[in-house]
Structure 1
Amino acid sequence: MSVTSEEINYLIFRYLQESGFVHTGFAFQNESHIHRSEYRNANVQPGALVNVLQKGLLYMDLELHVNEDGSERECTGPVALIGPHRCDKQAKKPKREEVVNRGSKRDRKDSKRAQKQQQDREKRARTEADEEEKDDNMMDTDQVEDVSVVGTPAESADLAEVKVIPASDAITLKGHAADVFVCSWNPTSPSLLASGSGDATARIWQIPTNADEPLQDPIVLKHLPALTNANRDVTTMDWNSSGTLLATGFYDGQARIWTQRGQLRYLMSQHRGPIFALKWNKKGNYILTGSLDHTTIVWDAVTGDAKQQHEFHTGAVLDVDWLDNTTFATSSSDGKVYVCKVGSTEPLRVFEGHKDEVNAIRWDPLGELLASCSDDKTAKIWSMSQKDCIFDLTAHSEAVYDMTWAPREASSKDPRILATASFDTSVRLWDANNGECLRVLSRHIEAVYTVAFNPSGTHLATGSPDHTINIWRVQDGALVKTYQGEGGIFEVDWNSTGDKLAACVANGTLVVAHVKL
């Protein structure tokens, strides 16, 4: 085996071209005489240099963690291209398939969905086996009637009032070449929508006021070429509060800051694994990211530099949320929730109580309570004033994947409402003042992936892999509008004026519905 400097130079040259470093690539070509090389017309796949480096890291990983007898040494510490490796023997090294399954929001949902489907199949098999043992005479008239019942008269009346959102009130945004599973409306420009996909791009769309108006071509934000179709995901995105900058997280572990016009302002590289969560603070001077590498990083948004990296978790960081401009919470597959402060080397609080990975965390609008939801089928509400949760919400029968707080003013006497979405096909509305379940919203026929309140808090949108978007009235839990899409729904999001609802669809499109409530 031999490697020549000409081969290395050519891979570097291709990397510079693919990354958009046009002037640097031109200078490097002239200085290294690539144009005279025998490899100048070589057929090299995109991302070849990164591919070689990653394979080298895999070899280094094996070399560092294989004992003399051939057994594998347990270690969760990532092997880096630059810097010394530190073995972490306190936690078991994750299996390769676990890493793949947590590769993006989409992959984690698909993995959970597959687990639930397997459980349902096993449950049906057990039920069918039990029924076969019963005598045929046990199937009486009442049982036959139960099978044919669609719903109670009240439920049937409710269904008659549900209005289907017509195709004329919806715009389908096409252009992504893979599933679209994250989107974010600009907070100050109600017609500006960003989307992220598994095609290694994000896009910024200008949505027409009316569905029949022509649609402009989006601004395409190209991320670095990924190695395979499995890891080309823009995993998360968030606008700053002024709506001037968009931050994106990518599977390659890098965060990026873009302008409204699609110009890349900063490329932020310090994570050693895919980024799962990303949030701006309200002031807009810090960005917080969480990664598969078990760490969170606070980035200085003015300079693009990493200000502080926290390494408290022993599992992948799945979500992050700011309490204020300097205090934030993080959740992880290790089942723990940490509350940290910029500049502090120790957490302010450690909330323990979940028995499985914590999928999401959200501070309430008043900044007094923190909600968390988990694969352990529960959601919990915490307060900084005590160690244990103040309410343990246990009514769901499957994993709780997403949740959101209803908007609320400090002077309001209305209950603090938390909505939770579960793989048991239901959404529940909770009163956070007493922990009681106010409503059960259960018209979806598959797991509910996403929930979002409109800006006034009067209605709740939900999305599911059953291809359905439902809009519910919070006051009485009535289903008032529904939309049947052409693919599973990964995420829904309202614009700042509440007249448009965006949905990410598994067929590579976005749907924007013009909603009149």
Structure 2
Amino acid sequence: MVPSSSKDSIVHIWDVPGPDKDGVSTTHIDPPLVCAYAAKGSDSDLTSLTWSHDGSLVAVGCYDSVLRICDSKGKAYFTHTQHDGPIFAVRFSPSGRWFLSASLDGSACIWDVREKKLHKQFHLHKQCCLDADWLSDLQFVTSGSDARIYIMDLDSPKPLRTLLGHQNEINQVKCNPTKTRLASCSDDMTGRIWNIENIDPLRYMEDSHSVVLRGHTGPVSHIVWCPLTGNGEHELVATSSFDGTSRIWDSVTGECLCSFDDHKKNVYALAFSPDGRHIATAGGDGCLHIYDIRAKQKRWSWSAGSTNPSIFEIEWQQSDNLNRIAMAMEKATVGVVDLTKVPELQ
């Protein structure tokens, strides 16, 4: 199932079939389910969406400040108007009990998914709260345009830790797979890696406690962790920037291991393959590039053409008989690339 949202304020849920018993993928996809409610008016642009971990619910953030959750059949599950500004990030907790929304009103709201009600609202950032991620079912992190990162506990109104060092708004925060380290990226053209394994009562973690990723010459818009790490190897993290490049870093030393500059415009999206062997990037030039991480070489590219070419988001799915990337495109379409049919990637 692939959910998609766009400027038309409508959420579609697509059932994308896998290969048949002979391993043949179909090019026919049935019409999508349409979620039961949609935003209306001039502030109807949808900003973010995410599945619950069990695939039963999909949550949507919107410029109209309304939180919306639908079930997998597109039926309305829950809606609320608690926020006073656009919602820019939506996240389900690991167990699915809680749901987190981050807004340009500077706050983060925790919602009880089963009870369909607000659990607590945290007024954290002086300006906009731009992103958030869960550390556990009880702790989460937020980042904002005030250049601060807060580590929060559901039972405490004040931050457990405030991370300082970035000099401009922080676009994303991402926890590593073991939830022991945090990656952040900013308009100050850097990424940072923070060790959060032992959260003690110290309120502030200063600049000297983070590994700084320097090299980009434009705002760093995305940062992602490699999902798998070999024995004895350092974890890898990747960044993409409005300078048109993407980079892979050693997250322990801060060394840039490679830089890819094939895009002619801003890089809008990047994703590691679930097996950790490849990374894909997509951008405003309409190109999708796939690189071999160990060889540090481009393996394959695809172009959306010259008319409304931008690719804004990508998601990589991989299993025993599946290897495909879904793309959200400026052409008002959703594309799915079957990578099992690409000889260069076999």
TM-score (norm 1): 0.61
2:339 is the alignment partner of 1:515: yes
Question: Equivalent residue of 1:256, what SS?
Answer: strand
Partner of residue 244 from structure 1, selected from 53, 56, 77: 56
Distance 1:321 1:225, change over 3 A: closer
Partner Cα separation in structure 1 for residue 149 and residue 27 of structure 2: 46
2:3 is the alignment partner of 1:194: yes
2:235 is the alignment partner of 1:416: yes
Partner Cα separation in structure 2 for residue 262 and residue 462 of structure 1: 30
Matches within 5 A, 1:498-509: 499-509=323-333
Worse overlay, 486-495 or 458-467: 486-495
Matches within 5 A, 1:66-105: none
Matches within 5 A, 1:52-451: 192-209=1-18, 212-228=26-42, 231-384=43-196, 385=198, 387-388=205-206, 389-408=209-228, 412-451=231-270
Structure 1 residue 247: Cα displacement: 1.2
Partner Cα separation in structure 1 for residue 39 and residue 195 of structure 2: 43
Structure 1 residue 211: Cα displacement: 5.1
What residue identity is the alignment partner of 1:255? L
Identity %: 32
Q: Which runs of 4+ in 1 moved over 4 A?
A: none
Partner Cα separation in structure 2 for residue 287 and residue 413 of structure 1: 35
Structure 1 residue 476: Cα displacement: 1.8
Question: Equivalent residue of 2:14, what SS?
Answer: strand
What residue identity is the alignment partner of 1:471? I
Given that 1:268 and 1:304 are in contact with CA atoms closer than 8 Å, whether structure 2 keeps it comes out as: no
Partner of residue 295 from structure 2, selected from 469, 476, 496: 476
Structure 1 residue 495: Cα displacement: 1.9
Partner Cα separation in structure 1 for residue 295 and residue 318 of structure 2: 24
What residue identity is the alignment partner of 1:511? G
State the superposition RMSD in angstroms.
1.5
CA deviation digits over 1:242-286, x for unaligned, max 9? 111111112211212211111111112200111000101110000
Question: Equivalent residue of 2:337, what SS?
Answer: strand
What residue identity is the alignment partner of 1:203? H
Distance 1:496 1:344, change over 3 A: farther
Structure 1 residue 223: Cα displacement: 3.3
Matches within 5 A, 1:457-496: 457-486=276-305, 487-496=309-318
Between structures 1 and 2, the one with greater strand share = 2
What residue identity is the alignment partner of 1:450? A
Distance 1:236 1:225, change over 3 A: closer
Distance 1:225 1:442, change over 3 A: closer
With a CA cutoff of 8 Å and minimum separation of 6, indicate the structure with the bigger relative contact order. Answer: 1
CA deviation digits over 1:337-394, x for unaligned, max 9? 1110112111011011111110001001111110110000000111225813321111
Structure 1 residue 322: Cα displacement: 0.6
Structure 1 residue 208: Cα displacement: 3.0
Partner Cα separation in structure 2 for residue 358 and residue 226 of structure 1: 29
Match of 2:201 in 1: none
Structure 1 residue 295: Cα displacement: 0.4
Rg larger in structure: 1
Question: Equivalent residue of 1:340, what SS?
Answer: strand
Partner Cα separation in structure 2 for residue 515 and residue 488 of structure 1: 20
What residue identity is the alignment partner of 1:387? M
Structure 1 residue 415: Cα displacement: 2.1
Match of 1:133 in 2: none
Partner Cα separation in structure 2 for residue 324 and residue 433 of structure 1: 23
Structure 1 residue 222: Cα displacement: 4.5
Question: Equivalent residue of 1:198, what SS?
Answer: coil
Question: Equivalent residue of 1:495, what SS?
Answer: strand
Match of 1:455 in 2: 274
Given that 1:200 and 1:223 are in contact with CA atoms closer than 8 Å, whether structure 2 keeps it comes out as: no
What residue identity is the alignment partner of 2:205? K
Q: How many residues align?
A: 323
Partner Cα separation in structure 1 for residue 232 and residue 337 of structure 2: 32
Partner Cα separation in structure 2 for residue 360 and residue 281 of structure 1: 17
What residue identity is the alignment partner of 1:365? P
Question: Equivalent residue of 1:361, what SS?
Answer: strand
Given that 1:366 and 1:408 are in contact with CA atoms closer than 8 Å, whether structure 2 keeps it comes out as: no
Structure 1 residue 433: Cα displacement: 2.0
Given that 1:403 and 1:450 are in contact with CA atoms closer than 8 Å, whether structure 2 keeps it comes out as: no
Partner Cα separation in structure 2 for residue 496 and residue 287 of structure 1: 26
What residue identity is the alignment partner of 2:56? T
Given that 2:100 and 2:109 are in contact with CA atoms closer than 8 Å, whether structure 1 keeps it comes out as: yes
Structure 1 residue 212: Cα displacement: 4.0
What residue identity is the alignment partner of 2:325? L
Given that 1:308 and 1:343 are in contact with CA atoms closer than 8 Å, whether structure 2 keeps it comes out as: no
Partner Cα separation in structure 2 for residue 427 and residue 213 of structure 1: 31
